[in-house]
Structure 1
Amino acid sequence: MSNQPAHKIKLGLTTATIWNNDGNYSVDITRSYRDGQGDWKNTSSLFHSDLLNAAKCADRAEIWISQQLSTR
């Protein structure tokens, strides 16, 4: 995978990060939170309240990837 993501989709605290590895796409879905010191961190563990945004991020990621593949 490259060092930079191909695209990011953010809804609330949920982010889908899309990676392009020579035309093979992968997606990481994470949730942002603040730790005890107030620093922003990311986790792949989602709360029930994050699931709708995660599903929307996944849907939008699939659409974005499909558009990239159709322009080949």
Structure 2
Amino acid sequence: MQNQPAHKVRIGLVTASIWNNNGSYSVDLSRSYKTDQGEWKNTSGLFHSDLLNASKCAERAEIWISRQLTKSQ
């Protein structure tokens, strides 16, 4: 895999990072949060309130990947 994702979709605190590994795509979902010290971090754990944004990110990631696959045909 690359060091940087091929594309990112972000809604609220939820991000879908899309990775391209020689034409095969994978997606990581994460939620950003701020520590007590004010530092931003990411976690794969989602709260109930994150689920709608996660589903929308996943849908947009699927659309982006589909378009990339269509371009390469």
| Matched-pair identity in % | 71
Tell me, in whole angstroms, the C-alpha distance in 2 between the residues paired with 1:33 and 1:4.
21
Aligned pairs (5 A) from 1:1-72: 1-72=1-72
Q: Gapped runs of 5+ residues in structure 2?
A: none
Q: Gapped runs of 5+ residues in structure 1?
A: none
**How far 1:11 sits from its partner (Å)?**
0.2
Tell me, in whole angstroms, the C-alpha distance in 2 between the residues paired with 1:18 and 1:35.
25
Aligned length: 72
Taking structure 1 as the reference length, the TM-score comes to 0.98
C-alpha offsets along residues 5-63 of structure 1, whole Å, 9 cap, x if unaligned? 10000000000000000001000000000012110000000000000000000000000
Tell me, in whole angstroms, the C-alpha distance in 2 between the residues paired with 1:28 and 1:4.
12
